[in-house]
Amino acid sequence: MSIYLPIAEMSVNVALFLAMGGAVGFLSGLFGVGGGFLLTPLLIFLGIPSAVAVGTGSMQILASSVSGAIAQYRRNNVDVKMGMVLVGGGIFGSAIGVGLVRLLRLVGQFDLFVALSYVTFLGAVGALMLIESIGTIHRTRSGKTVSARKTGQHSWVHGLPFKMRFHRSKLYISAVPPALIGAFVGFMAAIMGVGGGFVLVPAMIYLLRVPTSVVVGTSLFQIVFVMAATTLLQAVQNQTVDVVLALLLIVGGVVGAQVGAIAGGRLKGEQLRFLLAGLVLLVCLRIGWDLVAKPTEIYSIGPVIGSI
């Protein structure tokens, strides 16, 4: 059964995209990440235009993050004040990113920019995660104690101006670093169609020293509002959010996430990080190969995006 996507302007197989949504949802439940870093490239590989893949990915991440954010809020695992600072920076970064998307589409360089962004960013993050997970597995097998960083330790962040007291996180730090981190995550959301949780969570733990108990909830709180703003901006300014495609992915993702969460409970944290790092690097290599491989069609004819 096929269905026509009005924004992507193409017909797709319903079962295929439901299955893809389920697969991404499974990985999200397994690894505890939004899955945008995998969903957007997969959509592009299947022929969805890059701009539509990024915009629609934002909507799918928004839908998948709402239930988790509500559950975390009910458990009092959300630092609302910290979250609002992150949201403020995130919306600012998102607005800049959406404007850049529009500019890059006008000059016909958006596809290349997205591919380079994924190769650079995912390559760096995947390599760091792989090194860290291998080191942790090695220390665990050799019987060495894996040291954890304490949330009470001070760093250069505590010496910056514009300090605020975040009662739920039990911190008194400058509002500048959270705002900058939020802006970077918002910019990534607009450019790459990712929630940014795999960047936001480590930054909150290791840079801001936010207690682990409130990190996930506060991260989801920020992602919901930033992805809502990003989705709205992409739909209004760039017309790149395909609701029909998003619904297919959301339905499949809901089912897949439940199965992934059950499977994830059977693996250790360092094993999950190792598998996630390998997956990130595979996606990076696949996109990188497309950048250097000879295309099947040297010349192609298509409409000029942004023309009047």
User: Over the stretch 162-204, which tens digit does the pLDDT of each residue have?
Assistant: 788 888 888 888 888 889 999 998 898 888 877 777 678 778 8
Residue 202, amino acid? P
Q: What is the pLDDT of residue 298?
A: 59
Tell me: the pLDDT tens digits for 48-106?
Answer: 888 898 888 888 878 777 766 787 788 788 888 988 999 999 999 999 988 898 898 88
Q: What is the pLDDT of residue 301?
A: 56
**What single DSSP character describes residue 6?**
T
Residue with more model confidence, 55 or 129: 55
Q: What is the pLDDT of residue 307?
A: 43
Whether the Cβ atoms of residue 63 and residue 221 lie closer than 8 Å to each other: no
Per cent of the chain over pLDDT 70 is 81
Q: For the chain, which residues make up each domain, given as ranges?
A: 2-146+153-292
d(CA 250, CA 17): 10
Of 45, 61, 43, 38, nearest to 7 (Cα)? 43
Across the chain, mean pLDDT equals 78
Q: What is the pLDDT of residue 148?
A: 47
Phi-psi sector, 295: left (phi>0), alpha (psi -120 to 50), beta = beta
Q: What is the pLDDT of residue 31?
A: 61
Alpha helix stretches (DSSP H) within the chain: 14-31, 36-45, 50-74, 80-106, 110-141, 176-192, 197-202, 212-233, 243-264, 269-292
pLDDT of 151 > 60? The answer is no
Q: Where is average pLDDT lowest: 142-146, 158-162, 207-211, 282-286?
A: 142-146
pTM, 2 dp: 0.72
Section 137-158 average pLDDT: 60
Q: CB under 8 Å to 195, separation ≥6 — which residues?
A: 33, 34, 36, 61, 65, 185, 189, 223, 227
Q: What is the pLDDT of residue 308?
A: 40
Q: What is the pLDDT of residue 158?
A: 61
d(CA 193, CA 93): 13
What are the tokens at 300?
């192609």
The two beta strands, 171-174 and 163-166, are: antiparallel
